[in-house]
Structure 1
Amino acid sequence: MKVILVDDERLALIGLQKLLEKEVSGIQIAASYMNPAEVMAGVVLHRPDVVFLDIHMPEIDGMDLGRRIQVAVPGTEIIFVTSYDQYAVHAFELQALDYVMKPVQTERLKRTLQRVREKLAVRCEQRVMDTEVPLICCFNQISFKLPGKEPQIAKWRTSKAQELFAYLLHHRNRVIYRSVLLDLMWPGMEEEKTAHQLYTTMYHVRQTLKACGMDMIKIQSAHLEAGYKLEVGDAQLDSEQWEQEMKAWREVQPGTVQAYEQALYRYKGTYFGQYDFIWAEPERERLRYLWLYHMRQLNLYYLKQDENERVVENMQQIQQMLPDEEESYFMLMKLYDEINHDLGVEEQYRLLMSRMEQDLGIPISEEIRHWYRDWKLGLTEPGQTMG
């Protein structure tokens, strides 16, 4: 996150900069200014994500400077920092992201910057969504996004129509034989009894696509209606877009870490995650572990940068997405041990025990049991456990 600081008081400026550098991870301070006359040139040059701006300055009103910044570089978030709370209403009328009172408190600053990260991630996601081609959304729930319009969740006539479309989409550009579809949708029933149901369900699928404006998706009948083939035309799948973007990243670097993280945030849920499609599980698992691989790469980068807070945030996100992934709990246990946070170690161990043994009926690994036993006995050495 690229930041510019503006305050006519030197001590206030130095204090805010030190607080950001010491207490908040993922921050790049592009410039700081005491002279408001220099700010506009700096904003245009650096194009920051955020400007921390003092309101009460002798040469120029901070409110007016904030308006000029937003006109010059649209999308720049303004966070006012001041000793005078009477400006709060006017600050939010300017659509400032937040209003922080001096002296700035660490926890208050962290909450403000978390709001910035969330807003930047949403904005980045919106840019991806605002494509010039139709988009078929497969993460979590099936929906369609036409250029310039909001995503819409299709209203399927039946659950059979929904699954039939999903299966053909999953196997797009390939002929799927009728016998395969009949066995999938109506297993164990005679073909003569189900052929008409397949024909009717296919009709409902086509009608739903038409109602959603997705006419570019074509379902062609094979020779003598021996099967069907779905073609998406110029539409794209969000899962394919996301996978291509993630595979383009080679490594996490200081200049790319923010974009890398925002790309990972666009993985909002698993492939067809809201549906019990057993046939989708291999693809669901493949994409899930592609995401996990890149999350691990990001965590390794943050560990090297000693940005432990970001590691904790990311590991907690992994736990939400993959609650049975033992490594995330174990890594946090060792990290908490390194920073002498005993309660954190205990909490992670209890959480792992609860999710694995109580929820899934699976014992946790012997390696983690032995490490935890040694830790309780004081046999582990903080600082040597993160390997």
Structure 2
Amino acid sequence: MRVILIDDEPLALEHMKKILLDIDGLKVVGKYLNPTEGLKAIIKEQPDAVFLDIEMPTITGIKLAEEIQNHCPNIHIVFVTAYDEYAVKAFELNAVDYVMKPVHKKRLTETINRLKPLKNIHMKKRISNRSGMICCFQTLQFILRGDEPENIKVHWRTSKAKEVFAFLIHNRRKPVRKEVLIELFWPESELEKGFAQLYAAIYQIRKTLASIGFNIKIISRDHSYILDMQQIKIDVDEFEKLEVMINDGNPDLTIVQQLLDLYGGDYLEKESYLWAESERERLRVLWLYYTQQTIEMLIQKKEYTKALLICQRMQALNPYSEESYFMLMQLYDLLGERHFVEQQYSRLTDMLLEEYGTEPGSEISEWYLSWRGNKV
């Protein structure tokens, strides 16, 4: 195991190095009095862990830990300090350990024993060469895509960390100011405490992403956070490719149907985040439009069965839309299924009466009466 040490006290730094070198399987690849130089070495050497003093004159260990995670989210942090007042804050940051000075071999050996299984987990995650996708339709999910897509179970340490991550995904194309996050998620907290809670959440998010092998960087820059998605895709971005395809006039309908299938329900529907409501409505409207356009193109190609299946799915996901009932009535008519035309009109009538206290619109009712007259 490779580690780097950072402490502004020369004697403490040398003492810790001497103890660690006596522990089997451990290699100290650098020790630094200057935190900035230490950060550069961490980025270059990519150690497994960093032993980090908290109370330093130029930058606190808490802040430096955040910078380390910006560049190297898989690296584990061990805080070493003479002050126990930072213990709560350190563990809020999900540090692997918190060691009080003066350090002793027995105590550091316990720390190394905690680090070893964590290193093995990350080594296994790095082996995977499958691509990842984050899904936001219906609920927040993580999918590994290979020969067999795999839905990854994610354990979020807190629901707040999950929501902060979802908000960053929601704003993935632009930086999000830290003050905005504090005001939204910790509105009752004083500013200093709000920042501590925010840093704790970001640290938890980085650890969670690293634990499932999703290489997403949360970059801290100019008092803001911005996501570097690397090769990770978002289902919403894939879905929105439909705009170009539909406007093309003659798209590959097989691909169109695959993209439509990404919409498994409303945007973050199960999470019910209030800040997502406008995007939820926007994507719902787009999905209904793209679905209707696809059904019409399939009808033009006389592929009625395919159109029917898409329309049935449209109705299942949005049962309060008149359009789906009307389109199904027309499709069943084209397929010669008289009974199902009657059934759809009856269901539409019941739904409108129960939900809205109204009757089918004139276009639908006139079409239905004309259809019945022609069938007599």
TM-score normalised by structure 1 residue count: 0.53
Task: Report matched runs for 1:188-203 at 5 Å.
Answer: 191=191, 194-203=194-203
State the one-letter code of the partner of 1:237.
I
Picking from 130, 141, 144, the partner of 2:142 is: 144
Cα drift, residue 172 of structure 1: 1.7
Question: What residue ranges of structure 2 are gaps of 5+ in the alignment?
Answer: 1-127
CA deviation after TM superposition for structure 1 residue 353, in Å: 3.7
Q: Are 1:228 and 2:225 matched, yes or no?
A: yes
- Cα distance change, pair 335–141 in 1 and its aligned pair in 2 (3 A): closer
Larger radius of gyration: 2
- Residue 134 of structure 1, aligned match among 119, 132, 135: 132
1:274 equivalent in alignment to 2:266: no
1:33-62: CA deviations, max 9, x gaps? xxxxxxxxxxxxxxxxxxxxxxxxxxxxxx
Q: Do residues 319 (structure 1) and 315 (structure 2) align?
A: yes
**RMSD of equivalent CA atoms:** 3.4
1:171 and 2:168 correspond: no
Contact 1:270 1:288 in 2 (8 A): yes
Q: 1:161·1:201 contact (CA, 8 Å) conserved in 2?
A: yes
Cα deviation for residue 135 of structure 1 reads 2.7
| Separation (CA, whole Å) in 2 of partners of 1:179 and 1:357 | 48
- What is the CA–CA distance in structure 2 between the aligned matches of 1:350 and 1:131, rounded to whole Å? 52
Give the secondary structure class of the aligned counterpart of 1:219. Answer: strand
Inter-CA distance 245–133: structure 2 relative to 1 (3 Å threshold): farther
Once residues 155 and 229 of structure 2 are traced to their aligned partners in structure 1, the CA distance between those partners, rounded to angstroms, is 19
What does 1:348-363 align with in structure 2 at a 5 Å threshold?
Answer: 348-358=344-354, 360-361=355-356, 363=358
Query: Residue 306 of structure 1: CA displacement?
Result: 3.8
User: What is the aligned counterpart of 1:287 among 270, 283, 289?
Assistant: 283
Is 1:162–1:205's contact at 8 Å kept on the other side of the alignment? Answer: yes
Q: Which runs of 5+ in 1 are unaligned?
A: 1-129, 383-387
Aligned residues: 245
- For residues 333 and 140 of structure 2, the distance between their equivalents in structure 1, rounded to whole angstroms, comes to 42
Question: Are the aligned partners of 2:304 and 2:335 in contact in 1 as well (CA < 8 Å)?
Answer: no
Distance, in Å, in 2 between the alignment partners of 1:275 and 1:162 is 10
Instruction: Write the distance in 2 (CA, Å) between the matches of 1:319 and 1:298.
Output: 14
Distance 1:186 1:275 in 2: 18
Task: Judge conservation of contact 1:141–1:274 (CA < 8 Å) in 2.
Answer: yes
Structure 1 position 195, deviation (Å): 3.8
Q: Which amino acid aligns with 1:231?
A: D
- 1:160-179 CA distances to partner (integer Å, 9 max, x unpaired)? 11110010111124222233
Going from structure 1 to structure 2, the CA distance change for 1:137 and 1:307 (only over 3 Å counts) comes to closer
Whether the aligned pair in 1 keeps the contact of 2:353 and 2:359 (CA below 8 Å) is yes
Separation in 2 of the partners of 1:205 and 1:230? 12
Using the TM superposition, give the Cα deviation of residue 240 of structure 1 relative to its aligned residue in structure 2, in angstroms: 1.3
Give the distance between the partners of 1:310 and 1:183, measured in 2 at CA: 48
Q: Equivalent pairs: percent with the same residue?
A: 34
Tell me which residue corresponds to 1:237.
Answer: 234
Residue 346 (1) aligns with residue 342 (2): yes
Mapping for residues 38-49 of structure 1, pairs under 5 Å: none
Answer whether contact 1:141 1:272 (CA < 8 A) is retained.
Answer: yes
